[in-house]
Structure 1
Amino acid sequence: MLSQNNLPVDRGQLTAIIIFVLGLGSLLPWNFFVTASLYFNECLNTTQNGTQPRRPEDYSFDSWMTFLSMLPLLLFTLLNSLLHQWVRERVRVAVSMVVILLLFSLTAALVRVRMSPDTFFSITMATIWFINVFSAVLQGSLFGLVGQLPPRYSTLFMSGQGLAGIFAALAMLFSVLGNADIRTAALGYFITPCVAMSAILTCYMLLPHLTFARFYLNRDETDKQPIEKIPIESLGGSHDSSFLKNSKDPEDQVLQDLELPEKHQQRSSVFAVFKKIWVMAVCVTCTFAVTLSVFPVITVRVKTVYSGYTGWDNVFTCVSCFIVFNVMDLVGRSVPSLVQWPSKESRLFPVAVFSRVLFVPVLMMCNIPNSRLVIFSHDGAFILIMALFACSNGYLASLCIVYAPQLVRSRDCETAGALMTFFLALGLSLGASISFLLGSLV
């Protein structure tokens, strides 16, 4: 018999830890490629057939990398949103992780292979495309999985995604500080995600064996168990029959869903779910569109004003762009576990989201060589702007992901999670497309 008093608990917080690790794994591929921008551009900055070397800017590598990462993410997240009910989640996640592991292994093996810039560019772009195809399926499936758990696990998942960027940035920093040649450093750098993805796959395989996770993820079977009726008085003395309906406690929501008649337990259509979460969908799209329009395409072009200081030139981009961004993004993603403001019903929420557009011109006015307008030239100004830019991205994106499943029934949480992943990918793709234009303006 199920009651509020004997719902399973997350013993040792093992489910929470695994969800955090899965969040890290869902964005690991993207972060390891984008953080390696300096390595990729260096490989393109070589002489071909004795001719004048082409500049990395001639390839628009950062823009193409972002675009070819986000386009498959958009397309296959949409496909996952529509077909997730026909292919088992475990199959989607396991296959995606294995393929991503193999593609990282291929990237590491090719580090030692000498090839022309054009060939290197083509192979790298193809790898980025395919690795993001499976990353889209992985991320969409994991968002759907997390949407079935209580709301705080969505925050933990988003925090794990924030850690993925820090993990990649620190791996690159240690590679640069190792004083090895660029190819040796890159080899060690790309072996790191191979090991990490193996560990993440192991964690995922352990999840179904945890009682707490199994209870929420197997809700269909749980719903068939008899329910112990709980006197309304025992839930706080209220005689209002709408108490359970209006309760925000996730465990109360579980009990509410279990007591619904069978005909009301069917999943809603994708469109019906979208009508309930469309505000959150638009907000998450705008949040990531603004972020990807300037990061990393514009931000990696900002240079230090202290070019004479030994070593700072080499690590400036890694530290001030990638590490600052990812640390503050993680901070922003973690804050909703403590405070959630504005609320999901507040009109201030979309206002806060759309106000981030101001970061676009501000970042374009930082210390970019040959830029038409430089106002914020000091390193400290750039780091402060990046910190605010990243923190607002993490905070608002996390709120969108946390709020969306709260707007639908528990049976529709997986669909809501999959839809939010699609609109997240839509924002990333729009930002990547806009980056081509913004890159040509500086």
Structure 2
Amino acid sequence: MGIAHLLPYNAFLTAYDYFNTNLSKVSKSFEFYISSIMTWGTFIALGFDLFLSSYFGNKKRKMNQIEQNKEQKLKFTTRIVGGFIVYILTTGSVPIIMTFCELKVAFVLMMVNVVFVGFSTGICQGGIFGFAAIFEPKYTTAVMSGQGFAGVIVSFLRVITKGATEQTTRGIRDSAFAYFAASAGIVFFIIVGYFFLIRTKFTKYYISKYYYHLENADSTKEEEPMSINESGSEYSGESETDRQTTVIKDHLEKDDDTTSLLDGTPKRIKLWPLYKKIFRFSFSVFFTFFISLALFPSVMVQIPSTRNHLNTTGWYSLILITLFNCLDTTGRTLPKWIPNLFSNKFLVGFVLSRSVFLVLFVLCVEKVISSDAISIIIVIIFSITNGYPSSISMMRGPFAKGIKEHERSTAAVMMVHYFITSGISCWFGREFYFYSTFRSFVRQKLKIKNTIKAEEGKEKKIQNSSKI
């Protein structure tokens, strides 16, 4: 589910060379528009999703059960699968739009595509993290790993399709067709996998437990999570009441259709007290993505190689994007084996220290750091430190101290909404204030340095000519 969630986003960004061949004739800042429009669409959708899961749910508490059943509700399945279907339609239509439409029309239609992808990403993302929060923390880590792995998949798909065709206009078009078709196909198979997932006994147990807490949120006390083996065949807990166990067993026996259990009515959840409980983790996720989205991909693709042919063919930017996606996935997966590397207090400080990459990337782009090896090492550290703290924060946030079980899904949606806000903070990408100011400062210093060298060279020539 994590893979399918970010696959279309990464598919659009990784096909930089394909869009550059076509859309750059209409606008030189096409990748800036794609990134910013998609981020705005996601932000608006997440706000809408959060509103539905809290305020709208509070009003429905006063209705009787018959009236509640008549209300249209956004189920997890509707949100997740609906988003995936939009992904298939938008991603699969890219080659068709670029082949049969004029460039200006194609540019407009691509922006419309991006709006749909962004909005469905927000709805889908809230559903996925809310659904994952029903389970144990390691399953949220699995979703985070899947998001990183989505970038790895599309990067290798692009490398394979680009390398298998000639670097001509037709060759690039054919490779992009195979690339986007494969991306849409992967999402389709993940939809099939989701329906298998929600019908397993393991999933039904956790959904039944979630349903129980929704229905009894006002009467139940905060309890310790129940222990359960990986197969989901047995469950027990010393603090679990007989009533809860009986209700969950009844749901497991009576409800063959798992999606009906996901249609519970949200109980009253006060957002501000909940927000204070997850603030530290929300800020960590926010600032991690704030730095990362300010530099990736718009700044990273501008880092030049010392080998000019890698720059002209677009291979070096593709190599850096692929490297980022691979190491980001590694960082997102590490909490599965090393969950306690950072304490909660140290986590915030570590995230703030990533601000140094704003300086390092500028030095790479302006060729102050002119070594490919050093640039690659910087990208490696940048990638791992993006994946690990973000995954740790998303894993700990919904399970923070004081959060009740029925509040975890809303807490996860709130955290997702908060870190997407980081995209709004730096949605202007290359025009990010600190980056543009520091880059202008470096350029000015380099210009003065080059001017001094040029004047010294002229003086030496004059001296040599006078000696002759």
TM-score by length of 2: 0.75
SS in 1 for 2:94: helix
Are the aligned partners of 1:166 and 1:327 in contact in 2 as well (CA < 8 Å)? yes
Match of 1:121 in 2: 107
Match of 1:193 in 2: 183
1:412 paired with 2:373, answer: no
CA drift at 1:342: 4.9
Call closer, same or farther: CA 1:364–1:250 in 2, change over 3 Å. farther
Measure, in 1, the Cα distance between the counterparts of 2:101 and 2:429: 33
Call closer, same or farther: CA 1:296–1:417 in 2, change over 3 Å. same
Match of 1:238 in 2: none
Match of 2:327 in 1: 328
* Pick aligned residue for 2:31 from 37, 51, 62: 62
Alignment of 1:206-221 (within 5 A): 206-221=196-211
Match of 1:13 in 2: none
Match of 1:133 in 2: 119
Call closer, same or farther: CA 1:391–1:260 in 2, change over 3 Å. farther
Match of 2:61 in 1: none
Measure, in 1, the Cα distance between the counterparts of 2:14 and 2:355: 23
Superimposed CA distance per residue, residues 99-135 of structure 1 (whole angstroms, 9 cap, x where no aligned partner)? 221112221322322513x333322222111111111
Comparing 404-413 and 27-36, the one that deviates more: 404-413
SS in 1 for 2:100: coil
SS in 2 for 1:432: coil
Query: Which amino acid is the alignment partner of residue 6 of structure 2?
Result: L
Measure, in 1, the Cα distance between the counterparts of 2:284 and 2:238: 29
Match of 1:259 in 2: 241
Match of 1:387 in 2: 380
Superimposed CA distance per residue, residues 204-241 of structure 1 (whole angstroms, 9 cap, x where no aligned partner)? 1112210111111222455699xxxxxxxxxxxxxxxx
5+ residue gaps, structure 2: 58-72, 216-221, 230-234, 245-265, 440-468
1:274 paired with 2:256, answer: no
CA RMSD between the two structures: 2.8
Structure index of larger Rg: 2
Are the aligned partners of 1:143 and 1:418 in contact in 2 as well (CA < 8 Å)? yes
Alignment of 1:6-405 (within 5 A): 22-46=1-25, 57=28, 60-84=29-53, 86-116=73-103, 118-180=104-166, 181-221=171-211, 255=237, 258-259=240-241, 268-308=269-309, 313-319=313-319, 321-343=320-342, 346-366=344-364, 368=365, 371=366, 374-405=367-398
Call closer, same or farther: CA 1:261–1:325 in 2, change over 3 Å. same
TM-score by length of 1: 0.79
5+ residue gaps, structure 1: 1-21, 47-53, 226-243
SS in 1 for 2:394: helix
Query: Which amino acid is the alignment partner of residue 36 of structure 1?
Result: A
Comparing 84-93 and 380-389, the one that deviates more: 84-93
Measure, in 2, the Cα distance between the counterparts of 1:65 and 1:224: 39
Are the aligned partners of 1:108 and 1:187 in contact in 2 as well (CA < 8 Å)? yes
Calculate percent identity across the aligned residue pairs: 21
Measure, in 2, the Cα distance between the counterparts of 1:296 and 1:173: 17
Measure, in 2, the Cα distance between the counterparts of 1:174 and 1:285: 34
SS in 1 for 2:355: helix
Query: Which amino acid is the alignment partner of residue 284 of structure 2?
Result: C
Superimposed CA distance per residue, residues 361-385 of structure 1 (whole angstroms, 9 cap, x where no aligned partner)? 101111x3xx3xx321111111111
The alignment of Structure 1 onto Structure 2 pairs a total of residues equal to 381
Match of 1:436 in 2: 431
Are the aligned partners of 1:29 and 1:135 in contact in 2 as well (CA < 8 Å)? no
CA drift at 1:142: 0.3
Are the aligned partners of 2:286 and 2:420 in contact in 1 as well (CA < 8 Å)? yes
Query: Which amino acid is the alignment partner of residue 92 of structure 1?
Result: R
Are the aligned partners of 2:4 and 2:187 in contact in 1 as well (CA < 8 Å)? yes
CA drift at 1:338: 1.1
CA drift at 1:260: 10
Match of 1:234 in 2: none
